[in-house]
Chains A and B, each alone.
Chain A
Amino acid sequence: MRADVVVVGAGPAGLATAVALAEAGREVRVIARGNGFTHWAPGAVDVLARAGGRPVDHPSDGLPLLPARHPYRLVGEPLLRRALDRFQLLTAAAGLTYEGSLDANRRQVTALGTLRPTCLLPAPAARPLDGRVAVVGLDGFRDFAPELCARGLRAAGHDASARSVAPPPWGHARHFHAVDVARAVDDPGWRARLADRLGPATRGAGVAVVPAVLGLAGGHQAWADLERRVGVPLVEAALAPPSVPGMRLYQVWLARLRQLGGRLQLGFPVTGVEVADGRVTTVVSEGASRPVATRCAEVVLATGGVAGRGIRAGRDGTLVEEVAGLHVEGFGDRMGFFAEGFLDDHPLGAAGVAVDDQLRPLDAGGAPAPGGLRAVGGLLAAHDPTAEGSREGVALATAARVAELLAPDPSPTKG
């Protein structure tokens, strides 16, 4: 098989990179072991929620506090801003409105009633929690307990109370999950009947918090329509996976990629690269019965850290980058992987591949990896996407950097 650029990984970093490269005129093939963080994360754009051990209210103010080799420091704030702007334009053109800017963090309501800091919020999660808050669940929906959410919001100082409505008649007699509800909401008739039930349940409230299930196929249109019908601002609360807001984003990236002729290949992990004369020539992935070789001019690794399985942590304390066996900045000792508490910031989360300012991986001695190889997103060293709240910001910024590097001088596509 053959491609101009192979992007390894289909999470936010991989898809953002693939789209940016395709928009820059490269022919892109994404090869990934499966779907990624789009389906796990709550669909917002986290840029920087903590730096230097402290919460950050203004991401732009936090940037100077980051270590010099942090991905944001490598790409620079102007490019980060442009990447966020471009993201907002791209998503808006596809019916997803993202609100916010690098200058102030916002808060995303979760199913637990906590308020997680993030930078860009999808419009259905962005209404202010003014006045009385009605937290409305759906009877039988196991991923959203309105009492739990309301309790959390009260602890955060909001006047929140819990309600629940029965879903309008539909085809689900037993359990259902978020995507089932979202698909039902896509149907205008069912949506109108749901609005009839939400109306009374939200009476007297200034705003209603509902699970993030308000439509999947049509961007934010179903949410806007429902809000208009109910007559009360609706705020989607982030749920445990699968994340409907994240899937909306995934669909936008995938549709744009396909529109530009790019491809996505799921289900078979990339296992290696072949190098000739100091340059990557081929990506090798698993196939049904034998390895599949894809010849290419450039490779971008967007495989994630340990959680994304871009890095394998061995029982002996070794950390290995999965695709090209790149050097991983680690800790030497397995006991150093973890902090005390389950929800503490674990050092392992910051394990990653060191890169230069052109996102070329560096070996232990600081020498660059074979030509044609670059790394983006959670795989990068010197940052911890979870502890910092920087996952999508780093993904978008490094994707923009790769597109900038590979756009002006496209290499010949023939392998």
Chain B
Amino acid sequence: MLHVQQTADACVKCNICNTVCPVSAVTDLFPGPKYEGPQGQRFRAGLDGGSSPDRSLDWCSGCGLCTQACPEGVMVAEINSVARAELVRSRGGLRLRDRLVSRPELVGALGRPVAPLVNAALASPLARRLLERALGVHRQAAMPRFAARSFRAWARRHAPPAGATRTVAYFHGCATQEYEPHVGRALVRVLERNGVAVTHPPQGCCGLPLISNGDYPAAGRSAARLVARLSPAAGEPGVIVANSTSCGMTLKAKYRELLGMEDGRTAAVSRAVHDICEYLAELDVEGALDRSFHPLPARALYHPQCQLMAHGVGMPALDLLALVPELEVELSTVGCCGMAGTYGTKVEKYQVAMDVGAGLWRQARDLRPDFIVCDSETCRWHIAKATGLPVYHPVQVLDRAYRFRPPGRP
């Protein structure tokens, strides 16, 4: 396989990547993926990135739409990511804000014992202004709330039903653990409904926020630790499902492409990882998915997250939602909502993130859906904040359609 940087040689300068870039479409601060990626690469020495001639690459949100659109196989977004890591290294590392936002596990460990306090503070405009001033986290940026009880605390006491015919390991990631245990519970219920037992291997942060922010050495440490912990599950049961699409994508491809982890153990974990909707859609292809959903008379807007498309499996959630009677699903026409993990939380980038998502906010206003569906957690928070609508993970919708009959129906 070609090294990420070598793919720059395949660029034919056609500009297709520039036409899909959601960031350069809304701000002049980012000149576009072609210039930063394959063009800029010619001025960087060495395969490890080399010093970058242009610091504007920090405005790349890493959505990856450029890589998907390129007809020549240039890994445009990945070239930018490697170059950013070199930029960060040459600056002597991340600034304090970026060191914090890129460590969800640390934030979780610090915040969990004082969760009510943190939740109250994040809900206070004054505290948010102070946070913005002190750290550079935008006062309006969507922030999750700590859940009363973590996912693993629930999972430890959860008694799985008998009669499972297969087993998967669940990589829930940081967001489900601390902020959205209800998504994890829905995922477990949907799997168990289909005769799939769920194990909960020890895990931790995948390192994606560190990769996105440009701290590859720290990301590599997170990655190595996670691979060691998930490695047994890659052997038995052999399937690891993940509901965080970006973390799943990181495990599948970015350890190899960006962090250079080409060992067999990493490869085995990468191959074992399935996005939860990908796994459920595969069950359905086998005829093994329980299709007995109750009607869900509602209109939904589905936004396929940019990095979901980097799995290369299409939009499995759309296939699954189509099985729910009376659920009307409209497809988002926007390639990226703008959030890009931690990008949209930063004071200097928040407005870019809002402008990138503007088409989606408009579509939501015009369509007036009952709710929005999106596979990725940080996108859900951003979209909910911007539209004022509830935003669910697809498994939450499936879980509901399995469990609840609409009122007044037989």
Q: A residues bordering B, Cβ < 8 Å? A: 1-2, 29, 31, 33-36, 39-40, 171-175, 177-180, 183, 241-242, 247, 258, 263, 265-269, 285-290, 292, 294-295, 308-309, 415
Contacts and interface: CB of A to CB of B under 8 A. Distances in A.
Given A40-B14, A241-B14, A242-B16, A289 B273 contact: yes
A178 to B, nearest CB: 8
B14 A1 contact: no
B314 A242 contact: no
Contacts of A247: 19
Contacts of B27: 171
A34 B28 contact: no
Interface of B: 14-16, 18-20, 25, 27-28, 31-32, 67-73, 249, 251-253, 256, 270-271, 273, 281-282, 284-285, 309-316, 318-319, 331
Contacts of A268: 312
A241 B16 contact: yes
Given A1-B282, A2-B285, A309 B71 contact: yes
Contact of A39 (B16, B67, B284): B16
Contact of B252 (A1, A172, A288): A288
A183 B14 contact: no
A1 B314 contact: yes
Contact of A287 (B32, B69, B311): B311
Contacts, number: 108
B252 A34 contact: no
Contacts of A173: 28
Given A173-B28, A174-B31, A289-B270, A39 B314 contact: no
Given A173-B28, A267-B67, A288-B252, A242 B19 contact: yes
Q: How would you classify the secondary structure of chain A's contact residues: helix, strand, loop or mixed?
A: loop
Contacts of B273: 289
Given A1-B285, A174-B31, A288 B312 contact: yes
B312 A174 contact: no
Contacts of B315: 263
Nearest to B287: A414
Contact of A35 (B71, B285, B312): B71
B69 A285 contact: no
A29 B281 CA distance: 15
B15 A177 contact: yes
9 contacts: A2-B284, A34-B68, A173-B28, A174-B28, A177-B15, A242-B16, A242-B18, A292-B312, A294-B314
A39 B271 contact: no
Contacts of A2: 281, 284-285, 319
Contacts of A290: 270-271
A171 B28 contact: yes
Nearest to A309: B71
B129 to A, nearest CB: 28
Given A35-B16, A177-B18, A263 B314 contact: yes
Contacts of B312: 265, 267-268, 285-288, 292
Nearest to A263: B314
A267 B313 CA distance: 10
Contact of A1 (B16, B25, B313): B313
Contacts of B73: 33-34, 269
A242 B15 contact: yes
A269 B72 CA distance: 10
A215 to B, nearest CB: 14
Contact of B19 (A1, A31, A39, A289): A39
Given A34-B70, A267-B69, A288-B249, 19 more contacts: A1-B314, A1-B316, A1-B319, A34-B72, A35-B69, A177-B15, A179-B15, A183-B25, A263-B318, A266-B68, A266-B309, A267-B68, A267-B312, A288-B253, A288-B312, A289-B251, A289-B270, A308-B71, A309-B71
B307 to A, nearest CB: 10
B71 A34 contact: yes
B372 to A, nearest CB: 17
Contact of A29 (B19, B251, B314): B314
B103 to A, nearest CB: 24
Nearest to B74: A34
A175 to B, nearest CB: 7
B282 to A, nearest CB: 7
A258 B257 CA distance: 32
Nearest to A171: B28
Nearest to A268: B312
A36 B71 contact: yes
Given A39-B16, A289-B273, A265 B314 contact: yes
Contacts of A242: 14-16, 18-19
Nearest to A33: B71
Contacts of A36: 71
A119 to B, nearest CB: 24
B112 to A, nearest CB: 31
Nearest to A182: B19
Contacts of A285: 312
A290 B313 CA distance: 10
Given A1-B314, A34-B72, A309-B71, A267 B25 contact: no
Contacts of A1: 281-282, 285, 313-314, 316, 319
Contacts of B310: 267, 288
Contact of B313 (A177, A269, A287, A295): A287
A180 B70 CA distance: 18
A367 B208 CA distance: 51
- 5 closest Cβ pairs, A-B complex: A267-B68, A34-B71, A268-B312, A289-B252, A288-B252
A140 B313 CA distance: 41
A238 B264 CA distance: 50
